Structure 1
Amino acid sequence: MATSTAEEEFDEFYTLAYPRLVRQLYAMTGDLPEAQDVVQEAFIKAWSRQGTFTSGHSQEAWIRTTARRLAVSRFRRMRRGVQLIQRHHEPRHAEGPSPEHIALVEALRTLPKKQRDVVVLHHLCDLSVEQIGAETGWPAGSIRVWLVRGRLALARHFSALPDQKVNHAG
């Protein structure tokens, strides 16, 4: 019965303190979702320490301090990540997809999902039938059948297109 009472006391404390702590951390961080996350995480840490956790003002202070430290730690990691990106990222112009790639994607969309998946994994990702089976859990025989059917469907699709729409050299 003591466990139930401890849970009830913690639940009551959570109900009363959570909104107040979120408001306090929101004021500190300026980010409401972040404040909610760090306060929630601090409460989870407090619950895992419930045997050594005492009720009252010190409990709320512990959660507030823990939440504040979590917020600072997250901010530092985020700032460090931004610095690394800025320092090591060269701006590059990304070309859009070529007309051939767009035509291929449109053709792949006409295939049933499993056929499309095995064709992409085999021909675009360069995976063997065995590797596809290991990655997807599908039997090798089924993969081979889907590859054949997918290739035939793509061949029919592209043979029906006028020659000027598809560049066979690319």
Structure 2
Amino acid sequence: MMSDQAAFDEFYLGTRLHLLRQLTMMTGDREQAADVLQEAYARAWQRWRRVSRLNDPMAWVRTVAWRVAISQHRRSMVASDRLRRYFAPEVAADPGPASDRVLDLRAALQLLTPEHRRALVLYEMCGLSVAQVAVETEVAEGTVKSRLARARTALAAALGPEYAVVPTDAAPEGSPL
């Protein structure tokens, strides 16, 4: 149906860059983020009548993309050289110039476990509440809080004292976290 096509096109164009940025931070690999996001959008289109009625179709696409990324990760564990490339820091994760602080943050994020990194990106970058992160990651709210605390501790240790932690509500618009 043409209205479904138009609605999906509008959804895609309105969310793709935002989701690509989020998934790049979650996976640590812009190319893989683009690949899994493409797969998630294809699945969303196949189920668009149902997905479009959800409260948050963007969360559905992000979750599907994350699950595709996890599946790829599990398959890649068989070959250790692919595993190292999967989580290797990538200097040029975004096009355009990046400040040293952004590059340091990206490198520090790579030191986190995938679960801790995902929770931190969803909460800090995507602006989801603890309850929303819990729903999207399918874990208890207490687990989300624990992952966030551990992620922040690990980031603080990796970045060092010269990086002041900016409270979420004081972070500038468009900041990496």
Report the TM-score range of the alignment, normalised by the length of the smaller protein.
0.3 to 0.5
Of structures 1 and 2, the one scoring higher in RCO (CA 8 A, sep 6+) is 2
TM-score by length of 1: 0.45
* Higher helix proportion: 1
TM-score by length of 2: 0.43
